[in-house]
Amino acid sequence: MRRTLTAVLVAVPIMALPAPAAQAAPGGCAALTRLPAVESAVAGADYCDVRGTLPPHERYEIRLPLRNWTGQYVQQGCSGLCGAVPELTLPLFGFRCAPAVDKRVVLAASDSGHTGTDPGDGNWGADDPAARVDFGLTSEHKLKVVVDVVTRAFYGRGPTYRYFDGCSTGGRQGLNLAERFPADFDGILAGAPAHNLAPLALSNAWLAQKNKGDILPPAKLPVLHAAVQRACGELIEDPRTCGFQPSSIQCAGVDRPDCLTRAQVAVAVAAYRGPSDARGRNLYNGGFAYGSELSWNGWFVGPDPFAARIGLAYFTNLAYPRNPPADFTLDDVTFTEATFDRLQILGDAIYNATSPDLSAFRAHGGKLIVFHGWADAQISPFSTLDWYAAVERHAGGFAASQRFSRLYLIPGGYHCLFGPEVDRPSEIGVPEFLTPLMAWVERGETPDAIDVPTITATDPPELVRYLTVDPSDALSPPPAAPGSLNANYHYIGD
């Protein structure tokens, strides 16, 4: 089983924030508290653990190896609407990265400038423009600046190589760094990026409206998924080549457990197509790909779906300079070009990371790896695919883009390659991405094919084979299957 794709890289305007003055810390770990914005520094068995707050509200943690630092620094992104400092045990997708496993890499992360009760909490942005700017634009750059100061004070030198590693919102943060702060990092790993955040909010509202009242319940998702597999294969290499129609399993008469009602078919069609206006123009880069059905549960299917919670949080607290009335609900969202344009005002200014121009990052010598699971039901892989097509064009074609970046689309991969449910493992394992990124940056070893473990859904899961995913010029859409709901995914912003 093979699937190929590409990636890209190029340049952009740099925004600089003033770095705090470096101060010596001759007393070791504890002496780092003399530095600006450092509130505690405690030596443990392996790390000097540094914590503090960057103005106005950004809490952070830095882990400094006490022995044998490689000179490598990995900064970890957050998820959802952030609000808590991510755990720093190991970098995401660096589970087999030897220096990270051996605790010889500096690690750092922040809460992105605010405290939230959970990843779907947006109340912090209701009346705090500075918190919005930190979350959308500046928090990761500010943290990098402080890490440079702290490492120089502790080791007598700054990092030799700087890496950013994030997925979902962390993926968006990585692309924002490549576009707006291109000299900050030497290597960026961006998974399932929520880079098109304002239109993504429209997608969440679309799903909430279409499945209001849980028209399509969790019990019907395995039925739908099995039908898709019968039509398109157990592991779908490219959903655009699948021509499955939900109407093919519509109940003939009364509702039954093994079929979908007419109303349930309509929900599935809306999920595959994505939000559109009355004239059929896409307002986001398509919907969910065939094969993603099991991970719809909890996202927009089932009680208290997360897409509705995070969508409402965005619309009521983050989307506009002036918040909607207190009684605003997602039922008030209209799917029009005017809504799209209004969302893009703050979207393009603060939250989105959609520029195809990465030439400054390319000139800096940066390397970028982007990945996305084809079965992702939280952020459409078509959004990433659209963006990379634009980046490739801007870079001067496939060969030029491959000198600086890679894009991997993973068949069967759910959001950030985890899931879809706690009690049901993904059909694939999680590949190692950080090690090849480091080898590319530090030794010029270009990443090519990666092996993705393919597992069974047994308990415990059993490794049965490897799926090889190979970057290549596959951005041009393959011949679409007749009637494919995944074939036309370009959105109104093109």
Residue 426 scores a pLDDT above 60? no
Q: What is the 3-state secondary structure (H, E, C) of 191-213?
A: ECCCCCHHHHHHHHHHHHHHCCC
Q: Could you tell me if residue 164 is left (phi over 0), alpha (psi between -120 and 50 degrees) or otherwise beta? A: beta
Task: Please name the fold of domain 30-196+352-469.
Answer: Rossmann fold (3.40.50)
What pLDDT, on the 0 to 100 scale, is given for residue 467? 73
Across the chain, mean pLDDT equals 88
SS3 347: helix
Residue 420 scores a pLDDT above 50? yes
Asked which of 245-254, 370-379, 460-469 is least confident by mean pLDDT, the reply is: 460-469
**Mean pLDDT computed over 101-129:** 94
What pLDDT, on the 0 to 100 scale, is given for residue 490? 65
pLDDT bracket for residue 492 (50, 70, 90): low
Token look-up 């530095």 returns 35
Residues in CB range of 422: below 8 A, 6 or more apart: none
For the chain, percent of residues with pLDDT exceeding 90: 74
What pLDDT, on the 0 to 100 scale, is given for residue 119? 82
Taking CA atoms, 240 is separated from 202, 266, 381, in Å, by 22, 19, 11
SS3 293: helix
Distance CA 204, CA 161 (A): 37
pLDDT bracket for residue 4 (50, 70, 90): very low
**Mean pLDDT computed over 225-251:** 92
SS3 131: helix
pLDDT bracket for residue 430 (50, 70, 90): confident
The per-residue pLDDT for range 32-55, each reduced to its tens digit, is 999 999 999 999 999 999 999 999
What pLDDT, on the 0 to 100 scale, is given for residue 19? 38
What pLDDT, on the 0 to 100 scale, is given for residue 117? 85
For the chain, percent of residues with pLDDT exceeding 70: 87
pLDDT bracket for residue 6 (50, 70, 90): very low
Token look-up 């998924």 returns 225
- Ordered by start, the domain boundaries in the chain are 30-196+352-469, 200-350
